[in-house]
Structure 1
């Protein structure tokens, strides 16, 4: 963040500042980032357009043994099923080799999709504001600047109602163990906290990626749900495998949030997938 940015993650003109940088990566994670960079080049070669870090590692907040490595990869053409399998295998290999991280998550898209009109206020915003360039040409050069407005809120998280049935299916299909449920609790907790934050983001007029801060901001506007969001923010960082948590997400908090989101911002424009 530049010295002219506001405490709310905006620059002097009110646009969301890009968060993270390679210079903020904690020293313990330097070998992990280097390995991921080299192996992405090895897997994709000239087909790779660009690659990015996002999440706690480039923001400088990663915790050794607790944080995951988050990557976004842009290919010059649309990825194939084989490409998706390749990044999955790469992630598993890096995760096994480096105890500093707890998992690797990789988003894989074609350049055209990331720069498409339909994705300007979703994946495009994600690249321009939340991703740190790691390899190749930075796609942010082709994207607009973004304000924390209702359009951005709708196009980033206005699809929760569509996601909830899939979440219920994942819960039902998963193993009935704490170990199997823990990643679901972490994933759904983070998603709900971020969705709740973007619900109020235009009123707050700012941006943060800190889960605790997101919950705090949301709670000021919806005090009746504040405690639920604070608890979800904690579980987004330190998940348990309690099945009651997952049930509360898909039967109570999630449906309420989806309805309120649609009322305030409308529904996200349809995507091909």
Structure 2
């Protein structure tokens, strides 16, 4: 059941295939992943940590030394505390300082109850089951369903893009350095491209996390909007190689994102509210 179907990231039964594997980690990043496993184990004992995962370009095998970042998901047995957050930030700092291959580290914290809840089933649950590669502990994907590229999945993964706009605008206004602008550019661009892809995902009937491919899939369904296609291609480029140019941020945050958020709500509706 786990053979790729037609190059669209699906199993033979039409469910979304898990996209990463430790066997695909490029050789240059193998020491980084090994160190992540060691540092996480040292920072969280078995009474706190349920499982850990790596996601993004490193387990997909597409990471570029000096450009790609290391993305981690840490699932705790109970809701994360302030001490847990501090431990995760220490793991991030240690790995970032120790390896020139990576351009930053991000460790998300959550709990088993949250991942497996009905509310998060088609968002965080999907993220873990299909986009994350097990690194430590029991793989929670076994407690979650098999996912398909449906309108429900589209709504629950990216049907809240509109909520990100005020935060991005505030960060853009407050950014004082090129590093801050590049960080915002990378995060906003990746979110925009993912939203552009999932907007048309049910019609394309497949899954990809590749930014360039996502932009081109989006382009297939908006042939009459060449300006949006070019903006989405720009977002895909700066999602990989972020820009500090304020004009790029303006294009993404003030032009493309508001249009995309409105179209998304019109097509798929609003994501279920979170507490």
CA contact (8 A) 1:193 1:211 kept: yes
RMSD: 1.1
Structure 2: distance between partners of 1:244 and 1:227:
15
SS at match of 1:193: helix
Structure 2: distance between partners of 1:115 and 1:2:
23
CA contact (8 A) 2:231 2:252 kept: no
CA-to-partner distance for each residue in 1:16-36, whole Å, 9 max, x for gaps?
Answer: 000110100111111111111
1:39-50 aligned at under 5 Å gives the runs 39-46=39-46, 47-50=48-51
Moved over 4 A (4+): none
Deviation at 1:163? 1.1
* TM-score, length of structure 1 as denominator length: 0.97
Deviation at 1:86? 1.4
1:141-152 aligned at under 5 Å gives the runs 141-152=142-153
1:215 match: 215
Give aligned pairs, total.
Answer: 271
Give unmatched runs, 5+ long, in structure 2: none
1:197 match: 197
Give unmatched runs, 5+ long, in structure 1: none
2:236 match: 233
Structure 1: distance between partners of 2:3 and 2:16:
14
Is the counterpart of residue 105 in structure 1 residue 106 in structure 2?
A: yes
Structure 2: distance between partners of 1:88 and 1:208:
29
Structure 2: distance between partners of 1:173 and 1:205:
40
Structure 2: distance between partners of 1:54 and 1:128:
11
Structure 2: distance between partners of 1:33 and 1:191:
24
